[in-house]
Structure 1
């Protein structure tokens, strides 16, 4: 009798839950196929839009697990399991993790924005957060710079995405502005001609736009001339160092005085 009773209960459970289990299995199979195609299609869209590979992998994985969790919740509901409390637990856990990782989430969001909008890319020379260097790596959390002195600088993406960034590599050419001070007794026209000759004789200085010299300021002890010229990013620093050295050499040779601070000592006799 006891065996018959257990058998009847077993048959009743099978009759009650078998359709739900079969339905859950079908939902899992069909849902997995659909979601896999959705993730694959999303990856193709990101690849077509030239998203960074690290961002593509991260967003693809995030989308995959988000759809999997959604699928599991749907299956639990199909089996008759209450999913409201389950969803509440996930939401509470997400809130707790979000509060605990506020700074990291801000850096993560900044990294996503940088990778999507691309204010700079690997290999660009940038200036940000008081640092300047060549971008070595753009991560989800941090950006790594290789500084001029060959040091490695790590900048959190949260601050990087919310502050000013100067990208020196965004354009292929750069304009330099060098200020050269001469004394009030020196010939301005002669000094301007020397400056123009210095840059015109350098093949690395671009001829278009043309170099220009103008009086920038009548300062307390000098007339400041502004020398402006263009050069490619690759030749920029070579041109700058050459021009600065030649200004001193040519001004000395032509008798153009470069003012410098003088200290006057006054003695009083009793």
Structure 2
């Protein structure tokens, strides 16, 4: 009995010894891999944070880059570095990184195809924020989508219409069409066209319009206002006053100038005719005798 117990004890100790020897071999074999992986993680984490801060600082100094883009790119750079770090760590333990990269590429392609419309809006949002065809507070018209810009996001742009309505437009819809920005340039031109009668004094009408332009402080002296005959219409002579104002004053000035022109023309006896048609000859039509039917003609 004693010899059997000693034999079992010896086998147990031998198994433990083999396991310990295997653990030693495993530690010696992967010690450098573990240490290298830890160092890669520490260094990679530090580099990702430094690069993120550097990108944020670089983009913040540029006045052409929107704050939304600054945060997006800084976070994107940081996580891109972390992905590379994780792949390098897996490579330290003998994992085939090529297969991981292939799998990530396939997953990215599948996600891209599934979210094609969303990614298109994100790409358009980034381009809008970088190139900045419009900014917050500016009034635009983009193929029927018009309003004052309230916020430019990565997915959509928020606008406020002239009648106080809220409108959200996908970024791709604003990026793929021509955009007219009514607020970007500091000065804007207006052509005030008024029709006068053919019997009225053209020189007097032009003089009245020029006096109105010179009397309004919102009308710029450079470029100088100009009054001229633009068209000889069917019922009136079109006299145009061309002047420039600050973009912020354009709407108010154009409306008030139109009203002032009507009042001034009335005071100076200049008529503003309405469309009319002149007939030559008499409008009287002689009554026609109704035609007889075949039975009546036979009688």
TM-score (norm 2): 0.85
Give distance in 2, aligned partners of 1:181 and 1:71: 75
Aligned length: 270
- 1:24 equivalent to 2:41? Answer no
Q: What residue in structure 2 maps to residue 12 of structure 1?
A: 25
- 1:257 equivalent to 2:274? Answer no
Segment drifting more, 202-211 vs 138-147: 202-211
Deviation of 1:157 (Å): 1.3
Give distance in 1, aligned partners of 2:226 and 2:145: 30
Give distance in 2, aligned partners of 1:221 and 1:99: 61
Deviation readout 1:28-54 (Å, 9 max, x if unpaired):
111222222122111111111132111
Superposed, which structure 2 residues align to 1:103-182 within 5 Å? 103-182=117-196
- 1:68 equivalent to 2:82? Answer yes
Deviation of 1:268 (Å): 2.5
- 1:97 equivalent to 2:111? Answer yes
Give distance in 2, aligned partners of 1:179 and 1:78: 78
Give distance in 2, aligned partners of 1:269 and 1:125: 61
Segment drifting more, 28-37 vs 53-62: 28-37
Q: Which runs of 4+ in 1 moved over 3 A?
A: 262-267
Deviation of 1:195 (Å): 1.1
Larger Rg: 2
Deviation of 1:184 (Å): 2.0
Superposed, which structure 2 residues align to 1:41-60 within 5 Å? 41-50=54-63, 51-60=65-74
Deviation readout 1:156-198 (Å, 9 max, x if unpaired):
1112122211222222221111211122222211111111112
Q: What residue in structure 2 maps to residue 87 of structure 1?
A: 101
- Structure 2: which 5+ residue stretches go unaligned? 1-13, 288-299
TM-score (norm 1): 0.94
